[in-house]
Structure 1
Protein backbone atom coordinates (compact mmCIF):
# COMPACT_ATOMS: atom_id res chain seq x y z
CA UNK A 1 0.00 0.00 0.00
CA UNK A 2 1.54 3.36 -1.04
CA UNK A 3 2.40 5.86 1.68
CA UNK A 4 2.66 9.65 1.89
CA UNK A 5 6.42 9.25 2.31
CA UNK A 6 8.75 9.60 -0.68
CA UNK A 7 12.46 9.44 -1.39
CA UNK A 8 13.76 12.38 -3.41
CA UNK A 9 17.22 12.16 -4.94
CA UNK A 10 19.81 14.50 -6.33
CA UNK A 11 23.51 14.24 -7.15
CA UNK A 12 26.32 16.73 -6.59
CA UNK A 13 30.03 17.07 -7.32
CA UNK A 14 31.62 16.97 -3.86
CA UNK A 15 31.23 15.25 -0.52
CA UNK A 16 31.28 18.63 1.23
CA UNK A 17 28.45 19.99 -0.94
CA UNK A 18 26.46 16.79 -0.41
CA UNK A 19 26.83 17.13 3.36
CA UNK A 20 25.74 20.78 3.23
CA UNK A 21 22.62 19.96 1.18
CA UNK A 22 21.73 17.04 3.43
CA UNK A 23 22.22 18.96 6.68
CA UNK A 24 20.42 22.05 5.40
CA UNK A 25 17.35 20.10 4.32
CA UNK A 26 17.12 18.31 7.66
CA UNK A 27 17.70 21.54 9.63
CA UNK A 28 14.88 23.20 7.66
CA UNK A 29 12.61 20.19 8.38
CA UNK A 30 12.22 19.63 4.64
CA UNK A 31 13.52 16.07 5.08
CA UNK A 32 13.56 13.78 8.10
CA UNK A 33 16.93 12.40 7.06
CA UNK A 34 19.25 12.25 4.09
CA UNK A 35 21.64 9.51 3.06
CA UNK A 36 24.77 10.33 1.12
CA UNK A 37 26.07 7.53 -1.08
CA UNK A 38 29.79 6.99 -1.62
CA UNK A 39 31.21 8.63 -4.72
CA UNK A 40 30.41 7.01 -8.02
CA UNK A 41 31.20 7.71 -11.65
CA UNK A 42 28.51 9.37 -13.72
CA UNK A 43 28.57 9.30 -17.52
CA UNK A 44 26.17 11.65 -19.26
CA UNK A 45 25.65 13.89 -22.28
CA UNK A 46 25.83 17.61 -21.50
CA UNK A 47 25.53 20.27 -24.21
CA UNK A 48 26.46 17.79 -26.93
CA UNK A 49 29.50 16.29 -25.21
CA UNK A 50 29.83 12.99 -23.35
CA UNK A 51 31.06 13.85 -19.83
CA UNK A 52 32.39 11.72 -16.98
CA UNK A 53 32.32 13.01 -13.41
CA UNK A 54 32.58 11.85 -9.83
CA UNK A 55 29.35 12.52 -7.94
CA UNK A 56 27.66 11.84 -4.62
CA UNK A 57 23.95 10.90 -4.44
CA UNK A 58 21.76 12.32 -1.71
CA UNK A 59 18.50 10.51 -0.88
CA UNK A 60 16.08 12.62 1.13
CA UNK A 61 13.23 10.99 3.09
CA UNK A 62 10.28 13.36 3.21
CA UNK A 63 6.50 13.62 2.86
CA UNK A 64 4.53 14.49 -0.24
CA UNK A 65 3.37 17.63 1.60
CA UNK A 66 6.98 18.85 2.01
CA UNK A 67 8.21 17.71 -1.41
CA UNK A 68 7.53 20.96 -3.27
CA UNK A 69 9.34 23.04 -0.63
CA UNK A 70 12.27 20.58 -0.60
CA UNK A 71 12.51 20.68 -4.40
CA UNK A 72 12.54 24.50 -4.43
CA UNK A 73 15.16 24.60 -1.67
CA UNK A 74 17.47 22.06 -3.35
CA UNK A 75 17.17 23.89 -6.69
CA UNK A 76 18.08 27.18 -5.01
CA UNK A 77 21.02 25.76 -3.04
CA UNK A 78 22.39 23.41 -5.71
CA UNK A 79 25.49 24.32 -7.72
CA UNK A 80 24.40 22.58 -10.93
CA UNK A 81 22.65 24.42 -13.73
CA UNK A 82 20.25 21.47 -14.07
CA UNK A 83 20.38 19.36 -10.90
CA UNK A 84 19.09 15.81 -10.96
CA UNK A 85 15.75 15.63 -9.15
CA UNK A 86 13.83 12.39 -9.07
CA UNK A 87 11.16 11.23 -6.65
CA UNK A 88 10.49 7.62 -5.75
CA UNK A 89 7.25 6.57 -4.05
CA UNK A 90 7.34 4.19 -1.10
CA UNK A 91 5.04 1.21 -1.28
CA UNK A 92 5.26 0.60 2.45
CA UNK A 93 7.50 0.43 5.46
CA UNK A 94 7.55 0.27 9.21
CA UNK A 95 4.64 2.26 10.65
CA UNK A 96 6.96 3.60 13.33
CA UNK A 97 9.56 4.78 10.80
CA UNK A 98 6.98 6.34 8.50
CA UNK A 99 5.44 8.20 11.46
CA UNK A 100 8.90 9.43 12.43
CA UNK A 101 9.47 10.85 8.92
CA UNK A 102 6.14 12.66 9.13
CA UNK A 103 6.89 14.04 12.60
CA UNK A 104 10.35 15.25 11.63
CA UNK A 105 9.14 17.07 8.51
CA UNK A 106 6.26 18.86 10.23
CA UNK A 107 7.18 22.54 10.58
CA UNK A 108 7.72 23.58 14.19
Structure 2
Protein backbone atom coordinates (compact mmCIF):
# COMPACT_ATOMS: atom_id res chain seq x y z
CA UNK A 1 0.00 0.00 0.00
CA UNK A 2 1.33 3.41 -0.91
CA UNK A 3 0.44 6.46 1.10
CA UNK A 4 0.27 10.12 0.22
CA UNK A 5 1.72 12.94 2.25
CA UNK A 6 -0.18 16.14 1.54
CA UNK A 7 1.30 19.51 2.39
CA UNK A 8 -0.90 22.42 3.38
CA UNK A 9 0.27 25.74 4.86
CA UNK A 10 -2.15 27.46 7.23
CA UNK A 11 -2.12 31.04 8.56
CA UNK A 12 -2.23 30.06 12.25
CA UNK A 13 -2.58 27.24 14.76
CA UNK A 14 -6.37 27.56 15.08
CA UNK A 15 -6.96 27.06 11.36
CA UNK A 16 -4.40 24.26 11.21
CA UNK A 17 -5.96 22.46 14.18
CA UNK A 18 -9.47 22.79 12.79
CA UNK A 19 -8.44 21.34 9.42
CA UNK A 20 -6.36 18.56 11.01
CA UNK A 21 -9.12 17.48 13.40
CA UNK A 22 -11.72 17.54 10.63
CA UNK A 23 -9.61 15.44 8.25
CA UNK A 24 -8.84 12.82 10.90
CA UNK A 25 -12.37 12.90 12.34
CA UNK A 26 -13.91 12.32 8.89
CA UNK A 27 -11.40 9.51 8.12
CA UNK A 28 -9.90 11.52 5.28
CA UNK A 29 -6.48 11.28 6.95
CA UNK A 30 -4.97 8.82 9.38
CA UNK A 31 -2.67 11.39 10.94
CA UNK A 32 -1.87 15.08 10.53
CA UNK A 33 1.27 16.69 11.92
CA UNK A 34 1.21 20.42 12.68
CA UNK A 35 4.59 22.09 12.19
CA UNK A 36 4.46 25.63 13.60
CA UNK A 37 6.91 28.40 12.80
CA UNK A 38 7.32 27.69 9.10
CA UNK A 39 8.43 30.82 7.27
CA UNK A 40 7.04 31.05 3.75
CA UNK A 41 8.29 33.36 1.01
CA UNK A 42 6.11 33.41 -2.07
CA UNK A 43 4.94 35.54 -4.96
CA UNK A 44 1.29 36.64 -4.78
CA UNK A 45 -0.35 39.23 -7.02
CA UNK A 46 2.97 40.49 -8.39
CA UNK A 47 4.53 41.02 -4.96
CA UNK A 48 6.94 38.95 -2.91
CA UNK A 49 5.28 38.10 0.40
CA UNK A 50 6.64 36.62 3.64
CA UNK A 51 4.51 34.98 6.35
CA UNK A 52 4.89 32.68 9.32
CA UNK A 53 2.58 29.71 8.88
CA UNK A 54 1.75 26.30 10.32
CA UNK A 55 2.48 23.47 7.89
CA UNK A 56 0.26 20.41 7.87
CA UNK A 57 1.71 17.02 6.93
CA UNK A 58 -1.38 14.99 6.09
CA UNK A 59 -1.02 11.20 5.78
CA UNK A 60 -3.74 9.65 3.67
CA UNK A 61 -4.54 6.98 1.08
CA UNK A 62 -4.36 7.85 -2.61
CA UNK A 63 -8.09 7.14 -3.00
CA UNK A 64 -8.86 9.92 -0.49
CA UNK A 65 -6.90 12.73 -2.20
CA UNK A 66 -9.85 14.28 -3.98
CA UNK A 67 -11.93 14.36 -0.78
CA UNK A 68 -8.99 15.73 1.26
CA UNK A 69 -8.48 18.49 -1.30
CA UNK A 70 -12.16 19.42 -1.36
CA UNK A 71 -12.34 19.53 2.44
CA UNK A 72 -9.25 21.73 2.71
CA UNK A 73 -10.65 24.14 0.12
CA UNK A 74 -13.94 24.31 2.07
CA UNK A 75 -12.25 24.96 5.44
CA UNK A 76 -9.24 27.06 4.51
CA UNK A 77 -9.37 30.87 4.66
CA UNK A 78 -6.86 31.40 1.84
CA UNK A 79 -8.17 32.22 -1.61
CA UNK A 80 -5.74 29.63 -3.01
CA UNK A 81 -4.74 27.11 -0.33
CA UNK A 82 -1.68 24.94 -0.80
CA UNK A 83 -2.53 21.30 -1.41
CA UNK A 84 0.40 19.29 -2.73
CA UNK A 85 0.41 15.50 -2.56
CA UNK A 86 3.64 13.52 -2.56
CA UNK A 87 3.52 9.76 -3.00
CA UNK A 88 5.53 7.69 -0.56
CA UNK A 89 8.24 5.51 -2.09
CA UNK A 90 7.86 3.05 0.75
CA UNK A 91 7.74 2.82 4.50
CA UNK A 92 7.07 0.50 7.39
CA UNK A 93 4.40 -1.83 6.02
CA UNK A 94 2.49 -1.93 9.32
CA UNK A 95 2.32 1.90 9.34
CA UNK A 96 1.20 2.04 5.70
CA UNK A 97 -1.47 -0.58 6.48
CA UNK A 98 -2.62 1.54 9.43
CA UNK A 99 -3.04 4.56 7.11
CA UNK A 100 -5.13 2.41 4.78
CA UNK A 101 -7.33 1.14 7.63
CA UNK A 102 -7.86 4.58 9.18
CA UNK A 103 -8.89 6.15 5.87
CA UNK A 104 -11.09 3.28 4.76
CA UNK A 105 -14.61 4.37 3.87
CA UNK A 106 -16.01 1.24 5.52
CA UNK A 107 -13.79 0.55 8.54
CA UNK A 108 -13.73 -2.98 9.90
CA UNK A 109 -14.53 -3.51 13.59
TM-score interval, smaller chain: over 0.9
Cα distance in 2 for partners of 1:16, 1:71 equals: 19
Aligned mate of 1:104, from 102, 105, 109: 102
Runs (4 or more) in structure 1 with deviation over 6 Å come to none
Structure 2 alignment gaps of length 5 or more: none
**8 A Cα contact 2:2 2:90, kept in partner:** no
**How many angstroms apart in 1 are the aligned matches of 2:6 and 2:41?**
21
Deviation at 1:44, TM superposition (A): 1.1
Paired residue total: 106
1:42 is paired with a residue of what secondary structure? strand
SS at match of 2:7: strand
So what's the TM-score if we normalise by structure 1?
0.93
- Match for residue 25 of structure 2 among 27, 41, 44: 27
Aligned ranges for residues 79-94 of structure 1 at < 5 Å? 79-94=77-92
How far off its partner does 1:72 sit? 0.7
Question: Shift in Å at residue 6 of structure 1?
Answer: 0.7
2:15 to 14, 17, 32: 17
Q: How does 1:45-64 map to 2 (within 5 A)?
A: 45-64=43-62
Equivalent residue, structure 1, for 2:40: 42
Root-mean-square deviation (CA, aligned residues, Å) is 1.0
The Cα of 1:39 is off from its aligned counterpart by 1.3
For each residue in 1:15-70, what CA deviation from the matched residue of structure 2 results, as whole angstroms up to 9, or x when unmatched?
11101110110000000000011212111111011111110100110001111111
Shift of 1:4: 2.6
